[in-house]
Amino acid sequence: MTNKRIAVLTSGGDAPGMNACIRAIVVASEGKGHSVIGFEHGYNGLLSADWRKLDSKKVHNIIQRGGTILRSARCKEFKEEASARLAAKHLDELAIDALLVIGGDGSFHGARHLANYWNGDVIGLPGTIDNDIYGTDATIGYYTAIETAMDSIDKVRDTADAFERIFLVEVMGRHAGFLGACAAIAGAANYVILPELFKDTQTTLDNIHQQLAIHRQRYGHESFIIVLTENLWPAGISDLATQLETLTGGEVRPVTLGHIQRGGSPVSQDRMLATLLGVHAVKCVEEDKSGIMVGVHNNEPVEIPLEQTWENKKALSSPLTHTMLTMLNERHHWGLG
């Protein structure tokens, strides 16, 4: 086997565990005699030839750090043909054999686009808190984000209970409900509003009203926590809070968790996933594989053509949906008191 020259970058929203993945790629490569460089600031670094050598000393003591030592970015101009050609030129000048892209499906589009103009191998590794990538059970960063959101809901409940208020907690996820569903279940919220279940605003308000009425009848005037996925309620979380105040006559407080969910030390599941995928990606480079994402299914690494990651929509699993409905949105039924 020939020694490879591998490049890595992180792109799109940063996710806890990206550093663990960079570390795994570097350590696995070094052990096999390959060399690794890292491009800075996502695809911007490919365009400006902003890179640095990575070795095991440089990735020592980073597994526990959130963010990404290579920085991340969104780079609009990378969609253009001229950008991909320029990136290919820089990669050829550096005699790179394979580029590993840690990011979301947008970043995988970028890798596929580059492959149209570059002869080297491109491999994607799923890194996003949204877990919205088809072909992998989980994405790097997702588990930590659930933990952060769950922890925040626990804290919100303390004040919600004290004031007997309704709270709305908005979580990220872009257009997917994985994070919202898990945070709501694990945080024992009372209701969750997710893109996968959303019909319309009136139906949602009616359902919440019904659940809330039974909840209050059963438990007295207690707190009620609703988890809302971002980008879903047409006029935003404040509008929903106002509508609920009108409907219930009580106080409603909106809390947007925002980018807090992207930060923090990765939990063990994200470190394990990142390491598993990083090591497997190096194996794929050795086997001259290209145009794939390395994902995970049933704890085993899997390889999926990049196109499939965005051509298919990842669905919430039916056990997850069933659990969520049973424990939250359909928990109370009239007549059962």
Ligand X SMILES: O=P(O)(O)OC[C@H]1O[C@](O)(CO)[C@@H](O)[C@@H]1O
Q: Binding string to ligand ATP for residues 150 to 189, with x set by CB under 6 A, is what? A: ------------------------x---------------
Backbone angles phi, psi at 20, to 5 degrees: -60, -35
Measured on CA atoms in the order 237, 240, 245, 250, is the torsion positive or negative?
A: negative
Of the candidates 14, 105, 130, 132, the residue annotated as catalytic is 130
Question: How far apart, in whole angstroms, are the C-alpha atoms of residue 109 and residue 111?
Answer: 5
Q: How far is the CB of 53 from ligand ATP (least distance, A)?
A: 23
Of the candidate spans 11-19, 182-190, 274-282, 286-294, the one that interacts with ligand ATP by CB under 6 A turns out to be 11-19
Active-site annotation holds for 105: no
Query: Is the Cα dihedral 221, 226, 232, 236 positive or negative?
Result: positive
Query: Of residues 35-74, which lie at the interface with ligand ATP (CB under 6 A)?
Result: 43, 74
Single residue of 103, 126, 254, 266 touching ligand ATP by CB under 6 A: 103
Residues ≥6 apart with Cβ < 8 Å to 76: none
Residue nearer to ligand X on the CB measure, 155 or 175:
175
Residue 199: how many CB atoms within 10 A of its CB?
Answer: 8
* Shorter beta-carbon distance to ligand ATP: residue 57 or 76: 76
Helical packing angle, 18-31 and 268-286, nearest 10°? 40
173: partner contacted, choices ligand ATP, ligand X, none (Cβ within 5-8 A by kind): ligand X
Q: Which of residues 106-145 bind ligand ATP (CB under 6 A)?
A: 106-107, 109-110, 113, 128, 130
State the Cα–Cα distance between residues 188 and 7, nearest whole angstrom: 43
C-alpha distances in Å from residue 282, one per residue of 36, 163, 256: 11, 53, 38
Nearer residue to ligand X within complex by CB, 129 or 156: 129
CA distance 86 to 46: 8
Comparing every residue's Cβ against ligand ATP, the nearest one is 106
Torsional sign, CA 320, 261, 270, 147:
negative
CB 9 within 8 A of CB 36: no
d(C-alpha 146, C-alpha 142), whole Å: 6
Toward ligand X, which CB reaches closer, 89 or 174? Answer: 174
227 binds, among ligand X, ligand ATP, none (CB under 5 to 8 A by kind): none
Task: Return the number of the residue (5 or 113) whose C-beta is nearest ligand ATP.
Answer: 113
CB of 81 to ligand X, least distance (A): 25
Residue number, 27 or 87, with CB nearest to ligand ATP: 87
Is there binding between residue 230 and ligand ATP (CB under 6 A)? no
Q: Name beta bridge partners: 6.
A: 36, 98
Question: Which residues would be at the binding site for ligand X (CB under 6 A)?
Answer: 13, 104, 128-130, 172-174, 230, 262
Q: How many residues does the chain have?
A: 337
Q: How far is CA 285 from the centre of its chain?
A: 25
CB of 324 to ligand X, least distance (A): 19
Q: How far is CA 289 from CA 100, 280, 308, in A?
A: 11, 11, 16
Q: Which listed residue (9, 10, 13, 279) binds ligand ATP by CB under 6 A?
A: 13
Least distance between ligand X and beta carbon 58 (Å): 26
Give the shortest CB-48-to-ligand X separation in angstroms.
20
DSSP per-residue string spanning 79-126: GSHHHHHHHHHHHHHTT-SEEEEEE-HHHHHHHHHHHTT--SEEEEEE
Please identify, using beta-carbon distances, which residue of 195 and 250 lies nearer to ligand X.
195
Which residues contact ligand ATP by CB under 6 A?
A: 11-13, 43, 74-75, 78-79, 103-107, 109-110, 113, 128, 130, 174
Active site residue ranges: 130
